A and B are shown apart, each in its own frame.
Chain A
């Protein structure tokens, strides 16, 4: 089955008419010659890749996996997916460095770091230690690594009792919420409950996205299937699955099925079809006239950045429509493509500078906007934005939470 699906992805390259639209949109190739662009390494080079033979080119490792090329392609070529498979083969042939095996396991890092959060955070802020870390394992000394919250979201969730309601959603919080931003999870739950949902929070783990984008496909499959098996039983009665980590919900919706070749797995298929980005769900509520609009004014200017992975849902920018409902809030849409971080990409010693250059356009727009804060649906993008611009950043749901006065 895996092979059949990969052949489908690969077969789409014959639709490439070399129009270069993907290359106009690629945020990486536009800032570094090390990545010659999605068309070159994708539909073009793919014709020369033969299983079990050395890769004909290695630059695909510099693709950040943002997925914009697939989104803009007018001919339906699965460029990003073809390149994800190619990157995995390159990694297999060259070997995956220890660093990429470590930074791709947020649940392991979270479990180790949370009990010793103060020490861990201080170490991650320590210049000398980060320099050592850069030399020894190759995580760039300046890269925006998050700070452990020192408590898990689950520890809150275990104590939290959601009021019983007719409509129920299953909350998929992701690792960022679990170990670094439990408050975002609490606010997401509060906003959902305020809008009449009973929120069930099953025990869950990592979706495997970081492993997948680093070419560790076997491990990624284990993680995402384990997650699908954890979520599916809770949704059997018709409840939707909703998440605030937009790249992780995209992993469940589409990427794992396409890139990891898991389209046939029944649990993952079931979960995929029922998974919602939280803003997507709330916009549909609003469309039905069921979203509460008892909002008080939030007198601020916010600049909104839609992360690449959010755009990969192919649902437009529902956060913008929701933020437009908040009285007093002035929302500016940023149209720069990418912040550069791409999950773990911008953490790497050899890629940090590229990631910062990729995001430069966005950072400039944020500075020019003079906004009080930045709204963005992905946690790693928010960390990168804060690192580069020092502008405070929030998930759009946090602004709704404030407007509702919860």
Chain B
């Protein structure tokens, strides 16, 4: 076997859960290293922090709804991390964004009241914590909305979006503007890069101003810059003299990329390592402990010895869980026991895509400290945890953030590390 690198904690996965755990661990003084096969789900998600949107009716205040929600679901990730930990995780996240590489960019909101923001098709989505650049989009506010489409961006149809926003009871209309892009069709990131340029913003605002009516707020697809969104957004607000808000687009998600960059910076600022491209393909064990991980690296595998492993590998979509033709769900990285998969004869899927999907509740079996069954130093965080229905609950980012944060707390307590800065 090759020489080994030693860490206090190796985190597998570079999504919100993994980067949060790694940053928090590094901030506590642990030698932490992230191993990731590739970029995580940040680039595909809206960039909002949805904690609890439905139970099953729409939730106004997650703080009020959560105690009963977890009481009814003792196996839910929120029941494991504890309701009080969720707020702490959100606070931590908001602070890291504020300290992050995007100057002045911040998140607004809390568990006290969900925002209700339009998606790219104009459906209303409840989120606890959202980028400042989206906050003016609440569909419960009376101010009429002008949704603005940019011709090269085929993933955002202003009229469709506006028509659906109007169903929430607010006046809304859509306009399409030409926008000079390099290609006939351009994705959100390509446009976001253009919007970093003040001259582009000025020209755009000039063209848009003529289209706007008195008293309207402006909805734009989320393309207001990756590196300096605060500047792009506040600049447009003052150029147009009215509230402007972003609506998340289908992938690539610009707000999601901002989250990735901010969390990555938090890991690095605290001295953590990030190794991209290194897929974990095996492990060494001593009794109930995983002592080292084998990562597939160019030329040969590299061994990462670790006192703790945080598995933040995701669910079926990322390949962390795999369903075999034998109907057995397997955990792909370490072969850990899985819980929550429907048994023989039980319903597995339903025809309603966003409805009850029993198979999707499967996850890695854990105890109350997120410890994987049979592996006392392996903690699980994020979408790999069983028992949640994030697509129905509106809880995906909340689970990732809270469980990633909590995993670091468990290690910190066990290792007697200092409270994080």
Measured CB to CB, the residues of A under 8 A from B are 17, 19-21, 23-25, 30, 32-33, 36, 70-76, 250, 252-254, 272-275, 283-284, 287-288, 311-317, 321, 333, 335
Contact = CB atoms under 8 A, between A and B. Distances in A.
A315 B278 CA distance: 7
Contacts of B299: 252-254, 272-275, 313
B198 interface: no
A74 B37 CA distance: 6
Contacts of A283: 5
Contact of A21 (B44, B297, B298, B300): B44
B183 interface: yes
B189 A30 contact: yes
B235 interface: no
A76 B279 contact: yes
B167 to A, nearest CB: 29
Q: 6 closest Cβ contacts across the A-B interface?
A: A253-B299, A74-B38, A314-B277, A316-B275, A254-B298, A71-B277
A314 B275 contact: yes
Interface in B1-33: 3-6, 33
Contacts of A288: 3
Contact of A73 (B6, B38, B251, B252): B38
A33 B152 CA distance: 13
Interface of B: 3-6, 33, 37-41, 43-44, 101, 182-183, 187, 189-190, 193, 251-252, 257, 261, 264, 268, 273-279, 295-300, 302, 317-319
A284 B3 contact: yes
A74 B40 contact: yes
Contacts of A313: 297-299
Given A30-B189, A74-B318, A315 B38 contact: no
Contacts of B33: 316
14 contacts: A21-B251, A24-B257, A30-B189, A73-B38, A74-B318, A76-B319, A253-B298, A284-B5, A312-B298, A315-B275, A315-B278, A315-B297, A335-B261, A335-B264
B38 A75 contact: yes
A25 B233 CA distance: 23
Contacts of B4: 284, 287
Contacts of B257: 24
Nearest to B273: A316
A284 to B, nearest CB: 5
A19 B251 contact: yes
A316 B278 CA distance: 9
Given A20-B187, A23-B187, A30-B190, A333 B300 contact: no
A30 B181 CA distance: 11
Contacts of B190: 30
Contacts of A250: 298
Contact of A321 (B6, B273, B317): B273
Given A284-B3, A316-B276, 12 more contacts: A19-B251, A30-B189, A30-B193, A72-B276, A72-B277, A75-B319, A312-B277, A313-B297, A313-B298, A314-B275, A314-B277, A316-B274
A316 B264 CA distance: 13
Contacts of B268: 333
A32 to B, nearest CB: 7
A287 B278 CA distance: 19
Contacts of A254: 298-299
B275 A19 contact: no
B297 A20 contact: no
B187 A72 contact: no
B5 A71 contact: no
